[in-house]
Structure 1
C-alpha cells in the first residue's frame, strides 16, 4: 500500500526550529492547486531541493523521510527542468518512487489544509502558524485548527466464496469495494452497516476489522472491514453512487492496476483465500 515504504520511514512530528535551518539538499514541495512541481526520471520522482531555488521563501516544515527534511512553500517559482504535473497522474507503485510518492501525497494533504485555513472560521482574521505544534491559531479570538483527517470505511462483503465488487458511477474507473464516510454520532461498525445498506441494499453480520490506511489524496483515514451477508443476498444497487455492484468468485476478481490502496489489498487477500 502507499504507506508501505520500508526500509524508509516518514517521520511526521512538527519541529518549528527546522524552519530557521533549511539545508541545501532538503526537499521543497511546490503546489499549484492539484498540480505539483516535479521532474520525472526513468525510475523515480524528483522534487526540487532548496539549493535550486533562487528566490527567498517562507518555508513550512512538513516532515522527514529518513533524514531528508521536506518543506512546503506557498508561492511558485519556475525551476529549470521541472514541470507541474497533476498529483493523481503520478500515482505509481514503482518501488524506487515509493517513499517520495507517499511523501508527495502527505505533503499535498497538508498543503490543502494550509490553503483552506488561511482565515479564521469564527471571526475572519488571518490565521498564524503556532510554534509548539502543527496547528493554526487566530490572533484575535484564539480559535485553533489542526490538520483535517476524515474517517471512512472500506467494506469487503462476503457471501461464501464470493465478494461484492463495485465500480463507482463517477471518478476512479477500476474495481473497488463498498466505501463511505463516517457520519456524526456513528460508531465505525454502524457506518459499515449503513453504507452497505445504502449502496447495495444488504444486511451484514460478523463485522471484523482488518487494517487502516492514510489516504492523503482526499484527507481520508481508511478503515478496512470484512463482513458476511446476513440473509437475502440480492443486491439493490444505488445507481447514483455505483455503476456496477455484483458478487464475484475469488478466482474471477480483477485487481486494480497498482498496489497502493487498502481496497486492492483487501480484494487480493480474498482472491488468495484469506480474510481476517
Structure 2
C-alpha cells in the first residue's frame, strides 16, 4: 500500500527545521504538482535547484521528514524550464512508494492550510504555530489542527457462495471498490460499517471483525477496514446516487493485483487468495 515505504521511514513530528540545499520542495497549483524528470523517473525538485532567495527560503513551510531528508511547501509556485506540472492523481502511479506517500501527504497539508486561512470564530487571519503543526488565531486564541475524517470500509463476504461484494462508485469509474463511508456522530465504527452497507446496497452484515487501517490523504481520511459476513439474502438494492453498480464475485473472477495501492484493494486481493 502507498504508506508502506520500507526501508524508508516517515517522520511526521513537527520540529523547527532550517531548509537545506538537498531538501525536497513541493509546489502545488490547481490540483497539479511541480515535478522534474531525473535518471530514475519523476521526482520533486530540491531547494538548490530552485535558486530561491533568502527571503523566499524563509517562507518555506516544513511538512515532514523521510529518513534524514526534510520536505517543505512553497506556497508561491514558480515555473522553470526543467519543471513540469502533473495532476496529483498521478501520485497513484508514482514510484518509489515513499515519493507517492510524500506527495499525497503534502497535498493533504496544503489543502488544510488553504481551507484554514481565517479564524472560524472571529474571522481574523490565522498564523502558523511555532511549537506544533497547527494554525492559531492571534486575536481569540482558537487553534486549528489538520483535519482527519474517520471512514470505514468493509469487505462483505457471502460465506455460503464464497463471494465478495464489489461495487463501482460514480467517482471511481470502472475500478472495483468496497463499501465505504464516513463515521457519523454518535456511532461506533462497527455501527457505521453496518449502516453504510444497509444504506448503499440494502444488505445486512454480521460477525464484523477489524482488519486494519490506512491514512488516505487524497480525502484527508483515516480508513478503518473491517471484514463482515452477509446475513440473510444476497439480493441487493443500490443507492443510486452513491453506487453505479455492484456484483458478487468469486475468487477466480478477480484479477491478480500484485501491488495493492489501497487497503480496499488489498482486502480484495486477500479474498482472491483465500486469506479473508
TM-score tier by shorter-chain length is over 0.9
Q: 1:133-168: per-residue Cα shift (whole Å, max 9, x none)? A: 101100011110000101111110000110101111
Q: Is the 8 A contact 1:93 1:259 kept in 2?
A: no
User: How many angstroms apart in 2 are the aligned matches of 1:233 and 1:86?
Assistant: 39
Q: 1:224-263: per-residue Cα shift (whole Å, max 9, x none)? A: 1110011122111112111111211111123669621111
- What are the within-5 Å matches in structure 2 for residues 66-145 of structure 1? 66-92=67-93, 94=95, 97-145=96-144
Q: Is the 8 A contact 1:174 1:256 kept in 2?
A: no
User: Size of the alignment, in residue pairs?
Assistant: 270
Matched position secondary structure for 1:85: strand
The corresponding residue for 1:225 is 226
Q: TM-score, structure 1 length as denominator?
A: 0.94
Cα separation, partners in 2 of 1:172 and 1:60, compared to 1, 3 Å:
farther
Structure 2 counterpart of 1:25, from 16, 22, 27: 22
User: How many angstroms apart in 1 are the aligned matches of 2:272 and 2:64?
Assistant: 36
User: How many angstroms apart in 1 are the aligned matches of 2:264 and 2:256?
Assistant: 9
Cα separation, partners in 2 of 1:39 and 1:258, compared to 1, 3 Å:
farther
The corresponding residue for 1:36 is 33
Matched position secondary structure for 1:186: coil
Matched position secondary structure for 1:141: coil
The corresponding residue for 1:153 is 152
Stretches (4+) displaced over 3 A: 40-44, 254-258
The corresponding residue for 1:13 is 13
Q: Is the 8 A contact 2:5 2:98 kept in 1?
A: yes
Matched position secondary structure for 1:195: helix
Q: Is the 8 A contact 2:91 2:103 kept in 1?
A: no
List alignment gaps of at least 5 residues for structure 2. Answer: none
Q: Is the 8 A contact 1:59 1:71 kept in 2?
A: yes
Q: TM-score, structure 2 length as denominator?
A: 0.94
The corresponding residue for 1:206 is 207
- What are the within-5 Å matches in structure 2 for residues 179-198 of structure 1? 179-198=180-199
Q: 1:86-114: per-residue Cα shift (whole Å, max 9, x none)? A: 000232164xx211110000011001111
Structure 2 counterpart of 1:47, from 44, 51, 72: 44
List alignment gaps of at least 5 residues for structure 1. Answer: none
Q: Is the 8 A contact 2:42 2:94 kept in 1?
A: no
Q: Is the 8 A contact 2:260 2:269 kept in 1?
A: no
The corresponding residue for 1:261 is 262
Superposition RMSD in Å:
1.5
Q: Is the 8 A contact 1:157 1:226 kept in 2?
A: yes
User: How many angstroms apart in 1 are the aligned matches of 2:82 and 2:71?
Assistant: 20
Cα separation, partners in 2 of 1:264 and 1:41, compared to 1, 3 Å:
farther
